[in-house]
Amino acid sequence: MSAIGVAEPVAAEPSALVDARSAKRRRRRRQRLGNVGWYAILTFLASITVFPFLWMLLTSLKGPLDPIASVPPQLIPGHPTLDNYGRVLASLPIVQFFVNSITVSIFVTALNVLVSALAAYPLAKMRFRGRDLIFYLLLATLIVPAQLTYIPSFILAVNVFHYYDSLPAVIVPGLASAFNIFLMRQAFRGVPNDLIDAARVDGAGEWRVWWQILLPIVRPSMAAVAIFTFVTSWNDFLWPSLMLHSRDGMTLPVGLAALQGFFSSDFRSIAAGVTMTVVPILIFFIFVQRYFVRGLAGAVKG
Amino acid sequence: MTARFRATPYLFLLPAVALIAVFVVYPILAVVYYSFTDYDIITPPVWVGLENFLKVFQDETFWLALTHSVIYLIATPILIVLSIALAIVVNRRLPGIHLYRALYFVPAVSGSIAIGLSWRWLFDRNGLINGVLQSLGVIHDPIQWLASPSLILPIAMLLTIWAGVGFYSVIFLAGLQNIPEELYDAARIDGCNDVQKHWHISLPGLRPQIVFVAVISSLAALKVFDEIYVLTARTGGILDSGVTMVFYLWRQAFQLHHAGYASAIAIVLLAITLVFSIVNVRLLERQEPER
């Protein structure tokens, strides 16, 4: 991948062996001191990424007697309350938004990964007429901003598919993604050909090769693609906001934008709404993050 | 392998190709057609030739939106530098490092609407930023952050960068972990300090990831919408100070129902994206001569 050779370090090694031991001890002491510094830096950075949400959480817990805009600002609520959550839940069907978002994200993730993995197999491991053409056309669609397709897709949704203002309107157009096909193809290309050929010689058909050999091997990459698709679909806003308008039919981001209109400057309630939508996806991500990072390492190798 | 025709590869490809044909390829062709028509989505399109395009190029708001989208590209190099820096910081074995990595990823999974609303609250006239600045005595009167035409775009870009660094740094972290440890040991023995070490080893080793992130994040910058939508509460900001290409496209198509005109804007956006991508691909090819 890089142009750097490995010969150089080998040649340089012997001279370093001489005072390796004392250097090691010195390094370890320096390291322990250095660790404190690193933790300080890491904690400072974490406070930058987390603070806006922490501030939302703190604001959402403030009671009517707590000032939300004072100088100096009040950080910790003096009269903590869950009333703001109650108010949001009473005025907007957040639970229904949540169910809608889960439904959309699960369908999109499961089917999209399946469709992408299907398409990626011949593109990675078979030779047939038109393969390169199809692959480059798929890649070219990656460049096209999705928003550009929304006008015709809107008209299709209303006139042809008749799913305007229902969940299929946000599920169906999300079922194929050139990006995921590309990532899955990368993963399949890493599988040795010998393995596939051996299975073919043993009489396995292409479908069995795909299902029983390829898919289990690329599971880490597939997990990363699935997590990425789930989070993207969960947070998708513009297209769902064009499609979903009825009160009970919105996904969380669409409902959250509606919340902004509904409570305009009642920041305690907006904060409660934001907190309710952010916490579930955060918990989900904390559970799956190691699969994501591990799989991503394999998927994006340039 | 034989050259005879087999249906299997095409069957594997069929679902994906069919979906992409309906939801990507057909819409592009339809947008090209609509761009030559007067169309309000309800009554059938009427052919008007190049009229929409002539109007687009004389439309001051369009030029403003284009300028804003180009300015937004400044976010890309900043994102790359900060993401690499963060990746280098978290690429070490320390107890609890996984927790920190997860914390940096929080903005990436929280969703642009939730993020936008929390930032709106921070930068509100009565928000925390003004509160802190006032109590420190830096400013006397609260600043109207989100109602200042010159501030809305920088704030949106700051938001994009803040939300993106965690995500892109994971890609760079994966790249760093692919670089053989021996290279760093050798550099240390050769007397490289930490900065030189990363300059001479990490950066060249991360080249594929840098290209990847540059392409992805600059395409994302060209299509910014959500941040503007939330920060300006759907208005596009005072005097359209926050209007980007996609925001203007959305407003023309779905607020004003000028679908034909919006399609012409979409075509211009597509042309810009294509030129931009070709330049990117050229750079990518030049940087990877061994392929």
**Helix A252-263 crosses helix B112-122 at what angle (to 10 degrees)?**
30
Q: What is the pLDDT of residue B287?
A: 57
**Helix B97-110 crosses helix B112-122 at what angle (to 10 degrees)?**
90
* A31-40, A262-271, B160-169, B278-287: segment of lowest average pLDDT: B278-287
Instruction: Please state, in angstroms and rounded to a whole number, the distance separating the CA atoms of residues B246 and A280.
Output: 29
* Closest chain A C-alpha to B195 CA, distance in angstroms: 16
- Judged against a pLDDT cut of 60, whether residue A269 lies above it is answered with yes
With 0-12 / 13-18 / 19 or more C-beta atoms within 10 angstroms meaning exposed / middle / buried, residue B189 is: middle
* A13-22, A201-210, B51-60, B261-270: segment of lowest average pLDDT: A13-22
- Judged against a pLDDT cut of 70, whether residue A8 lies above it is answered with no
Token reading at B227: 């941040």
Asked whether B166 and B104 are in contact (CB, 8 A), the reply is yes
State pLDDT tens for residues B72-131: 999 999 999 999 999 999 998 888 888 888 889 889 889 999 999 999 989 998 889 999
What residue segments make up the domains of chain B, in order of their start?
36-287
Of the two residues A13 and A61, the one the predictor is more confident about is A61
Quick check: pTM over 0.90?
no
- Flag whether residue B122 sits within 8 Å of chain A, measured between CB atoms: yes
- Judged against a pLDDT cut of 90, whether residue A22 lies above it is answered with no
Token reading at A201: 């010689």
The closest CB to that of B118, out of A56, A238, A301, belongs to A56
| % of chain B surpassing 90 pLDDT | 59
For residues A92-108, average pLDDT = 95
Of the two residues A142 and A175, the one the predictor is more confident about is A175
- Judged against a pLDDT cut of 50, whether residue B2 lies above it is answered with no
H or E stretch at B70: helix B60-72
Q: What is the pLDDT of residue B97?
A: 86
Cβ <8 Å between A148 and B180 = no
Cβ <8 Å between A144 and B170 = no
For residues B276-281, average pLDDT = 80
* Closest chain B C-alpha to A121 CA, distance in angstroms: 7
Instruction: Please state, in angstroms and rounded to a whole number, the distance separating the CA atoms of residues B280 and B137.
Output: 46
Q: What is the pLDDT of residue A20?
A: 65
Q: What is the pLDDT of residue A216?
A: 94
| % of chain A surpassing 90 pLDDT | 59
| Length of chain A in terms of residues written | 302
CATH of B36-287, one of 3.60.21.10, 1.10.8.60, 1.10.3720.10, 3.20.20.140: 1.10.3720.10
Listed residue (A166, A276, A295, A274) closest to A230, CA to CA: A295
* A74-78, A246-250, B4-8, B220-224: segment of lowest average pLDDT: B4-8
Q: What is the pLDDT of residue B285?
A: 64
- Judged against a pLDDT cut of 50, whether residue A218 lies above it is answered with yes
What ipTM does the predicted assembly reach? 0.90
Distances (CA, A) of A214 to A79, A123, A299, B105: 57, 13, 15, 30
Instruction: pLDDT band for A16, please (50, 70, 90 cuts).
Output: low
Torsion of CA B197, B202, B207, B213, to 10 degrees: -130
For residues B252-268, average pLDDT = 96
Asked whether A119 and B15 are in contact (CB, 8 A), the reply is yes
Q: What is the pLDDT of residue B288?
A: 52
Q: What are phi and psi of A128, to 5 degrees?
A: -155, 165
Q: What is the pLDDT of residue B290?
A: 43
Q: What is the pLDDT of residue B11?
A: 95
DSSP assignment of A98-143: HHHHHHHHHHHHHHHHHHHHHHHHHHHH---TTHHHHHHHHHHHHH
Cβ <8 Å between B27 and A123 = no
The closest CB to that of A237, out of B100, B112, B273, belongs to B112
Instruction: Please state, in angstroms and rounded to a whole number, the distance separating the CA atoms of residues A225 and A221.
Output: 6
Token reading at B243: 């209007």
* Closest chain B C-alpha to A227 CA, distance in angstroms: 10
Chain-centroid distance, C-alpha B50? 30
Instruction: Please state, in angstroms and rounded to a whole number, the distance separating the CA atoms of residues B135 and A40.
Output: 26
For residues B208-229, average pLDDT = 90
Token reading at B85: 């820096």
Cβ <8 Å between A237 and B173 = no
Query: Which positions in chain A touch B208 (Cβ < 8 Å)?
Result: 1, 300-302
State pLDDT tens for residues A108-122: 999 999 999 999 999
Architecture field, domain A86-299:
Orthogonal Bundle (1.10)
Residues of chain A with CATH 1.10.3720.10: 86-299
For residues A149-156, average pLDDT = 95
Nearest chain B residue to A23, by CA: B189
Nearest chain A residue to B261, by CA: A151
Asked whether A259 and B233 are in contact (CB, 8 A), the reply is no
SS3 call for B46: strand
